C-alpha cells in the first residue's frame, strides 16, 4: 500500500521502465524524463517525456470495507485506501521523425509486454507490497487529445495516453477500536 508519496513513486517507476527500454535504440540513446511541459523540453539527447495530466478516483474500487489492524495493545481501524487512476501523456521530443516513432514504438512494446507491474518492479512506498499496477493504453479520440494539449497551451504532438490503475493511497487517520465490556438495554418490557 502506498503513502502520500505513491503518485511520485508511480511516476518514477514509469520513467525507469521507459529509460531501460530505450537503451540501444540509437547511437545517441534517448531517455525518459518526468516533465510537466510548462517549459520547452531540452534536447539533445532525444527524450520521451512522461506527463501526469489527470488523477481520478477509481469508481470500481469505492465502498471497500475499513482496514483493521491488530497491534498487541489495541486494535485499530482506518478508511480503506483511496484507489486512484493516474493518466499520463508520453511524448517523444528531439531527434528525427523515425527516432521519435521508434521511441513511441518502444514505449508501446514496453507496456504491452509488461501490462502489469508488480513485485520487484515496484519501488518507493510500493516496494515489497502485494499491490500491482495495471497499465492500459487509453483510447482517446483526436478531439480529446487535442483538448489535453490545448489545456497545457502547447501545439498538438503525436503522443501516447496511458492509464495506471489501481494506485492505492493509504488513509492517514486511524481510530482505536474499543471493545464492548457491557451493554444496557433500556425500555425493555419485563414479564
pLDDT at 90: 93
Closest CA to 164 of 52, 35, 70, 78: 52
Cβ-in-10-Å burial (0-12, 13-18, 19+) of 53 comes to middle
| pLDDT over 70, % of the chain | 80
Domain 6-171 adopts which CATH fold?
STM4215-like (3.30.2000)
pLDDT at 166: 73
pLDDT at 74: 67
Cα(100)–Cα(43) distance, rounded to whole angstroms?
A: 12
Looking at per-residue pLDDT, the higher value among 96 and 33 belongs to 33
Name, in order, each residue with C-beta under 8 angstroms of 186's C-beta and a sequence gap of 6 or more: none
Looking at per-residue pLDDT, the higher value among 65 and 134 belongs to 134
| Sign of the four-CA dihedral 20, 26, 28, 34 | negative
What pLDDT band is residue 108 in, cutting at 50, 70 and 90? very high
Cα(80)–Cα(67) distance, rounded to whole angstroms?
A: 5
28-52 as b/e: b if 16+ CB within 10 A = eebbbbebebeeeeeeeebbbbbbb
* 3-state SS assignment for residue 33: strand
Closest CA to 62 of 78, 43, 79: 79
The model scores a pTM over 0.75 = yes
What pLDDT band is residue 179 in, cutting at 50, 70 and 90? low
pLDDT at 39: 86
Q: Check whether 1 has a pLDDT greater than 70.
A: no
Residue in the structure block whose three cell numbers are 469508481: 59
C-alpha cell at 154: 502547447
Q: What is the DSSP letter of 178?
A: P
Looking at per-residue pLDDT, the higher value among 161 and 96 belongs to 161
pLDDT at 112: 93
Q: Check whether 82 has a pLDDT greater than 90.
A: no
Mean pLDDT of the chain: 81
pLDDT at 70: 66
Domain ranges of the chain: 6-171
For the stretch 123-162, pLDDT in tens is 777 777 777 888 999 888 888 888 888 888 888 888 999 9
Taking the CA of residue 30 as centre, how many other CA atoms within 13 Å lie in the half-sphere pointing to its CB? 30
pLDDT at 64: 67
Amino acid at each position: 500500500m502506498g503513502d502520500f508519496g505513491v503518485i511520485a513513486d508511480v511516476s518514477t517507476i514509469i520513467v525507469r521502465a521507459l529509460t531501460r527500454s530505450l537503451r540501444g535504440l540509437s547511437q545517441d540513446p534517448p531517455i525518459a524524463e518526468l516533465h510537466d511541459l510548462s517549459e520547452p523540453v531540452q534536447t539533445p539527447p532525444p527524450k520521451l517525456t512522461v506527463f501526469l495530466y489527470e488523477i481520478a478516483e477509481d469508481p470500481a474500487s469505492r465502498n471497500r470495507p475499513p482496514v483493521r489492524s491488530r497491534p498487541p495493545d489495541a486494535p485499530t481501524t482506518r478508511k480503506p485506501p483511496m484507489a486512484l487512476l493516474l493518466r499520463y501523456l508520453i511524448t517523444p521530443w528531439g531527434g528525427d521523425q523515425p527516432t521519435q516513432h521508434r521511441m513511441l514504438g518502444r514505449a508501446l512494446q514496453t507496456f504491452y509486454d509488461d501490462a502489469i507491474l508488480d513485485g520487484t518492479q515496484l519501488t518507493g512506498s510500493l516496494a515489497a507490497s502485494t499491490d500491482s499496477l495495471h497499465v492500459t493504453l487509453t483510447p482517446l479520440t483526436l478531439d480529446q487529445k487535442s483538448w489535453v494539449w490545448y489545456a497545457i497551451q502547447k501545439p498538438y504532438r503525436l503522443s501516447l495516453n496511458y492509464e495506471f490503475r489501481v494506485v492505492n493511497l493509504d488513509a492517514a487517520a486511524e481510530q482505536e477500536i474499543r471493545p464492548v465490556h457491557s451493554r444496557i438495554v433500556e425500555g425493555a418490557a419485563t414479564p
